[in-house]
């Protein structure tokens, strides 16, 4: 299974060197004294240091916000994230699911797992028959993402909904799998982070929905996010036996 290809990368604010040059006393000194060779040399060094400081700030911002790749060579094992493989042979799909989460019955859901004592944190799959033979026939990842957000915004309980990222990867047998991350501000439970994945196989539409609380006073922690992302990336058609 190939790694997901991000289609809507998160844009980062660019450091404005011109703004720094206008307000930094050292850089202003360089602009005023560039007629003298010695002073020009010193001022050039000051200008270089100013730019380097800006570059360091940008790199620091990338690390702080998690936009740089993980440089570790050690793979993350499902066992380390407390995940177990789940296979539905009847409907023909598979995914990793949090081992401590409880399987519950709910109308409309093919399968649903909830965190103990926190049912609003859940992983659910819905399978429906369709006339499509591939996901591409339905639309692009951007089109599907917009449909998901529109559906969220139509709910009476939704205050706001925003797409964070959209990606596409290859699944079992080369099938298209779309992945989405978005956040919802709801009157029922406050801020939520939602990860979704969808694919078409054997004229069935498979939809995975992962919902987790992401409130300002108790944001989604790094370990939980890694776990939920592994669940997202593991969602696929079950191998043919």
Tokens 């399987």 found at:
103
| Residues 140 and 44 grouped into a single domain | no
Model pLDDT, residue 39: 52
Write out the residue range of the structural domain in which residue 38 sits: 17-65
70 found inside a domain = no
Q: Is the pTM of this model over 0.85?
A: no
8 found inside a domain = no
Model pLDDT, residue 47: 52
| Residues 135 and 190 grouped into a single domain | yes
| Residues 47 and 161 grouped into a single domain | no
53 found inside a domain = yes
* Spatial CA neighbour of 32 closest among 53, 19, 46: 46
Whole-angstrom distance, CA of residue 204 vs CA of residue 92: 10
* Spatial CA neighbour of 230 closest among 95, 71, 135: 95
Kindly give, in sequence order, each residue whose CB lies less than 8 Å from that of residue 9, ignoring residues fewer than 6 positions away: 165
Whole-angstrom distance, CA of residue 87 vs CA of residue 234: 11
Asked if 213 and 190 count as a contact pair (C-beta separation under 8 A), the reply is yes
Helix intervals (H) in 87-210: 141-154
Per residue of the chain (241 residues), give pLDDT as tens: 555 544 433 333 333 333 334 444 343 333 333 444 555 455 445 454 454 454 444 434 433 444 333 434 345 666 778 999 999 999 999 999 999 999 999 999 999 999 999 989 999 999 999 999 999 999 999 999 999 999 999 999 999 999 999 999 999 999 999 999 999 999 988 999 999 999 999 999 999 999 999 999 999 999 999 999 999 999 999 998 6
Whole-angstrom distance, CA of residue 60 vs CA of residue 54: 10
Model pLDDT, residue 240: 80
4 found inside a domain = no
Model pLDDT, residue 51: 45
What are the distances in angstroms from CA 185 to CA 99, 120, 188, 201? 28, 14, 9, 32
Tokens 């990793």 found at:
96
């Amino acid at each position: 299974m190939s790694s997901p290809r991000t289609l809507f990368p998160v844009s980062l604010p660019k450091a404005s060197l011109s703004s720094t040059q206008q307000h930094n006393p050292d850089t202003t000194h360089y602009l005023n004294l560039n007629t003298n060779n010695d002073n020009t040399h010193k001022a050039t060094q000051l200008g270089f240091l100013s730019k380097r400081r800006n570059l360091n700030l940008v790199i620091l911002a990338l690390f702080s916000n998690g936009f740089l790749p993980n440089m570790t060579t050690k793979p993350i094992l499902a066992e380390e994230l407390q995940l177990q493989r789940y296979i539905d042979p009847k409907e023909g799909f598979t995914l990793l699911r949090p081992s401590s989460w409880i399987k519950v019955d709910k109308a409309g859901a093919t399968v649903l797992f909830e965190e103990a004592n926190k049912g609003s944190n859940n992983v659910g799959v819905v399978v429906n028959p369709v006339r499509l033979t591939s996901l591409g026939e339905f639309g692009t990842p951007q089109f599907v993402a917009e449909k998901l957000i529109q559906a969220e915004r139509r709910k009476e309980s939704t205050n706001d909904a925003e797409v964070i990222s959209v990606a596409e990867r290859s699944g079992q047998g080369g099938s298209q799998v779309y992945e989405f991350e978005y956040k919802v501000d709801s009157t029922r439970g406050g801020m939520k982070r939602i990860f979704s994945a969808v694919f078409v196989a054997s004229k069935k539409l498979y939809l995975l929905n992962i919902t987790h609380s992401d409130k300002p006073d108790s944001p989604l922690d790094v370990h939980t996010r890694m776990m939920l992302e592994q669940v997202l990336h593991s969602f696929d058609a079950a191998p043919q036996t």
